[in-house]
Amino acid sequence: MKQLMLQKFADKTAKIGIVGLGYVGLPLMLRYADIGYTVLGFDIDADKVAQLNQGASYIEHIPAHKIAAACQAGFEATTDFSRISEVEAIILCVPTPLNKYREPDISFVIQTTDAVKPYLRAGQVLSLESTTYPGTTEEELLPRMQETGLVVGQDVFLVYSPEREDPGNPDFETRTIPKVIGGHTPACLEVGMALYQPAIDQVVPVSSTKAAELTKLLENIHRAVNIGLVNEMKIVADKMGIDIHEVIHAAATKPFGFVPYYPGPGLGGHCIPIDPFYLTWKAREYGVNTRFIELAGEVNSAMPQYVVNKTVLALNERRLAIKDSHILVLGIAYKKNVDDMRESPSVVIMELLRDLGAKVAYSDPHVPVFPKMREHHFDLSSEPLTAENLARFDGVILATDHDKFDYALIRQHAQLIVDTRGKLHGAHVVKA
């Protein structure tokens, strides 16, 4: 069976199934479609499926013409999981959020695996790409595959290969980002390598699914801890009357031993605010306290409140109360130049301001209407950035520094600017 699968991936007769057609699944689908594989996409959202089958895109940085080209090449999206039996590769790209106790919620992974399980057959490889704690593949996916009576490593194959997508980054794409992969058995790894090598320039094998799972966590914990450090440094620098951005730019001139990270209003995106807590949770099982990770999480989670406090104090200097003040938040996507709202600290800032009685509005060229979110609710549309509109707000908070913003216009017409990104200067600009 292994040899047959290796041959199918090599000659591109294998059909690729991608479950979860979002920020991770869609780019992967496009890559496989582009190199000549037939791709079948699965999603529980019927509206998304309908849009894709019509050649439309619901993600800003993925143009519709690429979806349309994939459809012409044979791509099809469906909500019918019984069609799992048609594909040789099943790649799971589903969310792994945290619950309200900041514990891993792998319900989407488990539910998806349960939905796939009845239709598994010999000659398939199952790959999990969702970020999770070390042991998930072995503890949750493996038993469910074994319940089918199929032998993992002989009849079917199981791998873990974490996604590394960076939405909106023009310097990297799915093909050029190296792909880490671990297999449950050596045969699993071999089949998994055959799956990904045609699509990805560099595939990096590791010894187990656990090692691959921990690799993903280490990457994002590294970023979270360093961002937590500069966020804490920002607070210290502010107390000392020092511009932390000036300091970082100066430190970054050192050609060795220093990598610049930049402070902000908090952490956003699916990975960096969430992934570290997967390890802290799992580490408790082994009696280990992950103090660095937890401290960084505390610092980063406190940043939205820090921004709000700076806003309150700045308004106070102008003899204004936060209650009933009109506040405009610039940028509600989690990072610049994308429409991705996942875990955006801007939204937390908006909620904190609303709780204090402020009249909150936002402007974001990438998010024309505030989207439906599981935990956040605002009935708002993006405000146009005009001189008149800027002037009517008591305060403006620069939360996400999109390139499309006219910073000269903002600086000239905003009465008060709370700058969380180090973009603006002036007597009416408060660094936060």
Enzyme catalytic residues: 271
Buried b (16+ CB within 10 A) or exposed e, 324-348: ebebbbbbbbbbebbbbbbbbbbbb
Cα Rg of the chain, angstroms: 23
- Which of 32, 30, 44, 37 has its CA nearest to residue 11? 37
Question: Coil, strand, or helix at residue 39?
Answer: strand
Closest listed residue to residue 395, CA positions, set 338, 329, 344 = 329
- Give 281's DSSP letter: H
Q: Nearest 5°: CA angle at 96, between 94 and 101?
A: 155
DSSP run (H or E) holding 78: strand 76-78
Residue 252 near residue 258 (C-beta atoms within 8 A): yes
Answer yes or no: are the C-beta atoms of 410 and 330 closer than 8 Å. yes
